[in-house]
């Protein structure tokens, strides 16, 4: 459920608000590299306030305790705020694009698979199709596994993004 | 008022109270060197940019004020990477301005172009690439604020040539506004309360004092804490002088080459009060065996130090001085501590001290023992002399055999272990404290790395004194090859005569003295002390066979401490 199969220690999703300055991504990535922290995925984009960007980082906490990652990140001058998005108290999503080597109309079960995960076929060719899906990481893992039997040619996933839930007690 | 970007930079430095900058010009930084001629800032023209960086560190360590260095782009910037890394490790406040190729040429592999912000990102507290001359006052104000507050550290400003040449309306900077930077200052009262409970009930407590106590000017507060609690003190390599060695409650230096008493007191302690210390591997040895029965109170201004190495029982993220003062206030608010509660602990410590002092074999008088030189220097120099060292055996002997009674009298490269630190750092210390005598104790290997700054000192009339403990080897490496590589000496021999240190010193405008017999040691030091119109280099030909003791082999438990062979039967 937390993104890591086989019941291993969970990945943690950090939501990091940073000043929107040149080099800030390099500072974050460089910190992870030199402290030996493992990044599973990282998404960065500006926020509604142009002075800030938000970075969603999925951290493998087997490489270092989460508090150490958070404390070291907090020392970066351009990092304004760090929150851990616990699965029970956050909404998360991830975007998936994949090209498969079949035409949807000639591949039995393909349309059903796409429908079951709320995905869409966004481009079609004679012997290929591109699909797009949005969902939590676990359901996209499942969708990706389903796509494999049709032959995945290329795939790109964004990694997890998230925000705190509106009803944190839920 | 319209000024150039370069003028705005110099005005901004002046506004920060900068009195001295160490630097070396070159193409990209040329515009900055023109307004320096009209500035109140004394520019000290070094012979190598590494010298500028270490001099700025020595200045900062001696004065508590930020050190400033100015270098050009490309090789100028890369030459100062080592001092930046050194300052980052030892939390030294520096502001380094590096020239950069014109903004439009960045990324084109232009002449003397290096991605300086990229290269220095991992060895600075923060860095800037200035893209608009209008940003200069703000960037400089932020750089000094970041370098000097919280856990101090180096900040680099990368300064493209066209930005330096641009014309801009001079404006005083607004108040610093850094939405992501709020260094801790005052301790949490709840944590203070828990710490006080532990202090009241401990029977074998130790104050583990690190460099943060010196940075936060907390020596007087620490002395008061020791008065209130009676707790003995160890001072790390970065904290020598934070608490006086002449106080019987000072156990000396902990760690790999620390005193038996300091090391063993920590190992047997039931409460370790870490003040501005970071549980460095040179102090802890094998972490899992470090102070195994101790509860830990950890005071540090850097929250990331909490639990980085050792999980504290009480974490106090705060400026050391305010935390110590809060502890004292809380302790004084309760029942007075009975000194007798520590009587058996203090008796144990006294017994260890008597049995295992630092020692060396005085020999038969045919060779000069390096420890003897340190002792003679200690005894022949004023109480407030500033001692600077390089890295290696000589550094450990200096730390062990000196008697440090004041903060900011011991300047060395701790975390990075930068050979060649001593000569340029001594220059910076003397510039910062011209009223003090400055001695450097250096190794022959170290001296060869940065001796050219003695030329700077002669030219700039900055008189320091350098004692070279010349054992014709990279002594610490030799010691490890002796002890751990079956005496297979690989690339450690340096020759006692090559270079000719006296001739070299004289060629740099210094007085050069060579000492080859023990009875000449003291007279040579006294002669050097009398010369104050130029620098003096005294080369002591020392006994190559001397090893630094005690030693804890790397990766071992501190319980495996190896004392001097003459004490081994007592252990």
Q: Please judge whether A80 and B180 are an interchain contact, meaning their C-beta atoms are less than 8 angstroms apart.
A: yes
Give pLDDT, residue A7: 45
d(CA B67, CA B55): 8
Nearest to B238 by CA among B222, B253, B250: B253
Nearest to B455 by CA among B21, B51, B125: B51
Residues of B in contact with A68 (CB under 8 A): 304, 307-308
Q: Is A76 on the interface with B (CB under 8 A)?
A: yes
Residues of B in contact with A25 (CB under 8 A): none
CA-based R_g, chain A, Å: 18
The shortest CB-CB distance from A23 to any of B117, B307, B308 is to B117
Q: Please judge whether B146 and A34 are an interchain contact, meaning their C-beta atoms are less than 8 angstroms apart.
A: no
pTM of the model: 0.96
Give pLDDT, residue A60: 87
Is residue B404 annotated as a catalytic residue, yes or no? no
Is B49 in contact with B82 (CB distance < 8 Å)? no
Q: Please judge whether A22 and B129 are an interchain contact, meaning their C-beta atoms are less than 8 angstroms apart.
A: yes
Contacts of B451 (CB under 8 A, 6+ apart): B423, B504, B508
The shortest CB-CB distance from A68 to any of B180, B181, B304 is to B304
Residue of chain A whose Cα is closest to the Cα of B146:
A77
Residues of A in contact with B122 (CB under 8 A): 30, 34
User: Chain B closest CA to A44's CA: distance in Å?
Assistant: 17
A interface test, pick of B147, B304, B306 with most A CB neighbours within 10 Å: B304
A interface test, pick of B103, B179, B182, B311 with most A CB neighbours within 10 Å: B179
User: Chain B closest CA to A94's CA: distance in Å?
Assistant: 28
Give pLDDT, residue B166: 98
State yes or no: pLDDT of A56 exceeds 70. Answer: yes
Residues of B in contact with A77 (CB under 8 A): 125-126, 146, 178, 180-181
User: Chain B closest CA to A164's CA: distance in Å?
Assistant: 20
Residues of A in contact with B103 (CB under 8 A): none
Contacts of A31 (CB under 8 A, 6+ apart): A37, A72, A73, A76
Q: Is A86 on the interface with B (CB under 8 A)?
A: no
Is B74 in contact with B114 (CB distance < 8 Å)? yes
Q: Is A50 on the interface with B (CB under 8 A)?
A: no
Nearest to B410 by CA among B48, B46, B90, B67: B90
Beta strand residue intervals within A20-159, DSSP E: 38-46, 52-60, 79-84, 90-100, 120-124, 129-135, 152-157
Q: Is A106 on the interface with B (CB under 8 A)?
A: no
Tell me the two tokens of residue B159.
């300064």
Residue of chain B whose Cα is closest to the Cα of A79:
B180
For residues B206-231, b (16+ Cβ closer than 10 Å) or e, as one string?
A: bbbbbbbbbbbebbebbbbbbebbbb
Residue A66 burial (CB < 10 Å; 0-12/13-18/19+)?
Answer: middle
Nearest to B361 by CA among B571, B565, B553: B565
Is residue B396 annotated as a catalytic residue, yes or no? no
B36-79 tens-digit pLDDT: 999 999 999 999 999 999 999 999 999 999 999 999 999 999 99
Is residue B112 annotated as a catalytic residue, yes or no? yes
d(CA B56, CA B189): 37
> Which 8-state DSSP code applies to residue B42?
E
Is B329 in contact with B186 (CB distance < 8 Å)? no
Alpha helices in A10-81 (DSSP H): 24-35, 66-75
Whether A11-84 and A90-164 share one fold: the answer is yes
The shortest CB-CB distance from A27 to any of B121, B181, B302 is to B121
Beta pairing, strands A90-100 & A161-164: antiparallel
State yes or no: pLDDT of A2 exceeds 70. Answer: no
Contacts of A100 (CB under 8 A, 6+ apart): A110, A128, A129, A130, A131, A147, A150, A151, A152, A153
Residue of chain A whose Cα is closest to the Cα of B130:
A22
Tell me the two tokens of residue B360.
């060396």
Is B488 in contact with B481 (CB distance < 8 Å)? yes
Q: Please judge whether A19 and B180 are an interchain contact, meaning their C-beta atoms are less than 8 angstroms apart.
A: yes
Give pLDDT, residue A10: 66
Q: Please judge whether B129 and A27 are an interchain contact, meaning their C-beta atoms are less than 8 angstroms apart.
A: no
pLDDT by position in tens, chain B (length 571):
999 999 999 999 999 999 999 999 999 999 999 999 999 999 999 999 999 999 999 999 999 999 999 999 999 999 999 999 999 999 999 999 999 999 999 999 999 999 999 999 999 999 999 999 999 999 999 999 999 999 999 999 999 999 999 999 999 999 999 999 999 889 999 999 999 999 999 999 999 999 999 999 999 999 999 999 999 999 999 999 999 999 999 999 999 999 999 999 999 999 999 999 999 999 999 999 999 999 999 999 999 999 999 999 999 999 999 999 999 999 999 999 999 999 999 999 999 999 999 999 999 999 999 999 999 999 999 999 999 999 999 999 999 999 999 999 999 999 999 999 999 999 999 999 999 999 999 999 999 999 999 999 999 999 999 999 999 999 999 999 999 999 999 999 999 999 999 999 999 999 999 999 999 999 999 999 999 999 999 999 999 999 999 999 999 999 999 999 999 988 7
A35-47 tens-digit pLDDT: 989 999 999 999 9
Q: Which CATH superfamily is domain A11-84 in?
A: ACT domain (3.30.70.260)
Residues of A in contact with B306 (CB under 8 A): 67, 71
Q: Please judge whether A65 and B307 are an interchain contact, meaning their C-beta atoms are less than 8 angstroms apart.
A: yes
Residue from B49, B135, B142, B460 carrying the catalytic annotation? B49
Q: Is A122 on the interface with B (CB under 8 A)?
A: no
Domains within chain B, CATH numbers bracketed: 2-169 (3.40.50.970), 189-355 (3.40.50.1220), 370-541 (3.40.50.970)
- Does the structural domain A90-164 have CATH classification 3.40.50.2300? no
A10-43 tens-digit pLDDT: 689 999 999 999 899 999 999 999 998 999 999 9
Is residue B49 annotated as a catalytic residue, yes or no? yes
Is residue B161 annotated as a catalytic residue, yes or no? yes
Q: Please judge whether B307 and A67 are an interchain contact, meaning their C-beta atoms are less than 8 angstroms apart.
A: yes
- Chain B residues whose C-beta is within 8 A of a chain A C-beta are 117-118, 121-122, 125-126, 129, 131, 146, 178-181, 302-304, 306-308
User: Chain B closest CA to A23's CA: distance in Å?
Assistant: 9
Listing DSSP states for B268-315 in one string gives H-SEEEEES----HHHHSSGGGSSTT-EEEEEES-GGGTTTSS--SEE
First to last CA, chain A: 17
Give pLDDT, residue B63: 98
- Domain residue ranges of chain A, discontinuous segments joined by +: 11-84, 90-164
Q: Is A26 on the interface with B (CB under 8 A)?
A: yes
State yes or no: pLDDT of A64 exceeds 80. Answer: no
Q: Please judge whether A19 and B179 are an interchain contact, meaning their C-beta atoms are less than 8 angstroms apart.
A: yes
SS3 B200: helix
d(CA A129, CA B321): 66
d(CA B524, CA B513): 7
Is B271 in contact with B199 (CB distance < 8 Å)? yes
Give pLDDT, residue A8: 47
């Amino acid at each position: 459920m937390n993104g890591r199969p086989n019941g291993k220690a969970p990945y943690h999703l950090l939501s990091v608000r940073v000043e929107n300055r040149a080099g800030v991504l390099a500072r974050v990535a460089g910190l992870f590299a030199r402290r030996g922290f493992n990044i599973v995925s990282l998404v960065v984009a500006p926020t509604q306030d142009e002075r800030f960007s938000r970075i969603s980082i999925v951290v493998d906490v087997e490489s270092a305790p989460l508090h150490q990652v958070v404390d070291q990140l907090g020392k970066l001058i351009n990092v304004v705020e760090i929150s851990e998005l616990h699965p029970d108290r956050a909404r998360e999503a991830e975007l998936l694009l994949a090209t498969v080597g079949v035409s949807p109309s000639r591949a039995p079960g393909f349309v059903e698979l796409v429908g079951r995960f709320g995905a869409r076929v966004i481009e079609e060719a004679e012997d290929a199709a591109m699909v797009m899906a949005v969902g939590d990481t676990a359901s996209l893992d499942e969708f990706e596994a389903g796509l494999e039997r049709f032959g995945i040619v290329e795939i790109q996933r964004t990694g997890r993004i998230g925000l705190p839930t509106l009803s944190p007690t839920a | 008022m319209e000024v150039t970007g370069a003028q705005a930079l110099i005005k901004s430095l002046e506004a920060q109270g900068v009195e001295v900058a160490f630097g070396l010009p070159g193409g990209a930084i040329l515009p900055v060197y023109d307004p320096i001629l009209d500035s109140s800032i004394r520019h000290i023209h070094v012979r190598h940019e590494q010298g500028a960086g270490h001099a700025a560190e020595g200045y900062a360590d001696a004065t508590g004020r930020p050190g400033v260095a100015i270098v050009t782009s490309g090789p100028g910037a890369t030459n100062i990477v080592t001092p930046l890394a050194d300052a980052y490790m030892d939390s030294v406040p520096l502001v380094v301005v590096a020239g950069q190729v014109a903004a439009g040429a960045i990324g084109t592999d232009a002449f003397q172009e290096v991605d300086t912000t990229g290269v220095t990102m991992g060895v600075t507290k923060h860095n800037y690439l200035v893209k608009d001359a209008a940003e200069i006052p703000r960037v400089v104000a932020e750089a000094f604020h970041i370098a000097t507050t919280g856990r101090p550290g180096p900040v680099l400003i990368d300064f493209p040539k066209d930005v330096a040449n641009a014309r801009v309306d001079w404006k005083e900077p607004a108040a610093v506004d850094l939405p992501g930077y709020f260094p801790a200052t005052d301790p949490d009262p709840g944590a203070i309360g828990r710490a006080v409970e532990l202090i009241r009930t401990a029977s074998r407590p130790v104050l583990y004092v690190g460099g943060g106590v010196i940075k936060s000017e907390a020596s007087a507060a620490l002395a008061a804490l020791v008065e209130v609690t009676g707790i003995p003190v160890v001072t790390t390599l970065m904290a020598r002088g934070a608490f006086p060695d002449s106080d019987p409650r000072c156990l000396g230096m902990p760690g790999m080459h620390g005193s038996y008493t300091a090391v063993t007191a920590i190992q047997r302690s039931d409460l370790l009060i870490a003040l501005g210390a970071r549980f460095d591997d040179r102090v802890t040895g094998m972490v899992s065996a470090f102070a195994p029965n101790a509860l830990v109170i950890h005071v540090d201004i850097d929250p990331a130090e909490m639990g980085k190495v050792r999980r504290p029982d009480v974490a106090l993220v705060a400026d050391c001085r305010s935390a110590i003062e809060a502890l004292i206030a809380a302790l004084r608010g309760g029942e007075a501590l009975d000194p007798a509660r520590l009587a058996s602990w203090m008796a144990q410590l006294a017994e260890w001290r008597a049995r295992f002092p630092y020692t060396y074999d005085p020999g038969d008088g045919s060779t000069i023992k390096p420890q003897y030189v340190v002792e003679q220097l200690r005894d022949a120099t004023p109480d407030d002399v500033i001692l600077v060292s390089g890295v290696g055996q000589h550094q450990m002997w200096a730390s062990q055999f000196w008697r440090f009674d004041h903060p900011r009298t011991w300047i060395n490269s701790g975390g990075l272990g930068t050979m060649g630190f001593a000569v340029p750092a001594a220059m910076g210390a003397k510039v910062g404290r011209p009223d003090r005598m400055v001695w450097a104790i250096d190794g022959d290997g170290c001296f060869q790395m940065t001796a050219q700054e003695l030329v700077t000192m002669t030219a700039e009339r900055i008189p320091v004194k350098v004692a070279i403990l010349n054992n014709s080897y990279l002594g610490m490496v030799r010691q490890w090859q002796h002890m751990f590589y079956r005496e297979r000496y690989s690339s450690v021999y340096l020759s006692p005569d090559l270079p000719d240190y006296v001739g070299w010193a004289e060629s740099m405008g210094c007085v050069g003295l060579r000492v080859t017999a023990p009875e000449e040691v003291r007279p040579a030091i006294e002669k050097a002390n009398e010369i104050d119109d130029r620098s003096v280099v005294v080369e002591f030909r020392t006994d190559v066979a001397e090893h630094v003791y005690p030693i804890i082999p790397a990766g071992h438990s501190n319980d495996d401490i190896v004392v001097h062979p003459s004490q081994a039967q007592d252990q």
